[in-house]
Amino acid sequence: MINLDHFRKEFDKDKLDKGSVKKDPFAQFDVWHKEVMHVDAEGAITMTLSTVDSLGQPSSRIVLLRTLGEEGFGFFTNLTSRKAIEIDGNRQASLLFFWRNFQRQVRIEGELIRMPVEVEDEYFAGRPRGSQIGAWSSPQSASIPDRKSLEKMVREYTDRFEGKDVPRPSYWGGFILDPKRVEFWQGRESRLHDRIVYSKVDNGWKIERLAP
């Protein structure tokens, strides 16, 4: 066993108070997200998506935040992938943003819903052509014999759509996580972190402070 106890870092960059946060989690997320975007745009849109399969086994992976609004947090994927199959069986999921340079994280729990078809079509049409071809070529999460077989599929779809617009595959789409609970975590000294959680209620959001 490797002991990593010697690696410690003090959290001292900022604080978070129940009385100063915004009235809803979307507004508060927007404040933090814009701060991160100014210094690390790639990190600002990188999030961990966790889903659960039919046996209760959780799985997590990094996806990119592609739409953001009061309807929720959106991302796109192959609809035959492991994540999509798990989502089809259980719409409850969570997202995690970790912004190390700001000593902050945001944990989001809620239900995933499919994006409208017109949103999926519009987003796909704006993707780089290589990514469009890749969506057609890769049977995401399926077992393949080798890299050459994947590259062969890319060549075949490149030829198929030569001189044409690449349409969105029927098995490629997006999901929006509609949050019911959002926690904002700000690292503080001596591990006495600030944790403010928003919980959805009938008439809006309940705001509470949690013990670190």
Q: What is the dihedral of CA 170, 110, 200, 204, to 10 degrees?
A: -20
Task: Give the integer Cα–Cα distance in Å for 94 and 141.
Answer: 20
Cβ(22)–Cβ(69) below 8 Å: no
Instruction: Collect all residues with Cβ–Cβ distance below 8 Å to 200 and sequence separation of at least 6.
Output: 179, 180, 181, 206
Is 155 annotated in the active site?
A: no
Q: Cα–Cα distances in Å, from 24 out to 81, 92, 162, 184?
A: 33, 21, 48, 12
Residue/partner pairs of 159-162 with CB below 8 Å, 24 or more apart: 161/133, 161/136
CA angle 63, 132, 136 (to 5 degrees): 95
The distance from CA 158 to its chain's CA centroid, rounded to whole angstroms, is 29
Alpha carbons within 13 angstroms on the beta-carbon side of residue 172 total 21
Active-site residue (options: 104, 107, 191, 209): 191
Query: Which amino acids are annotated catalytic?
Result: 191
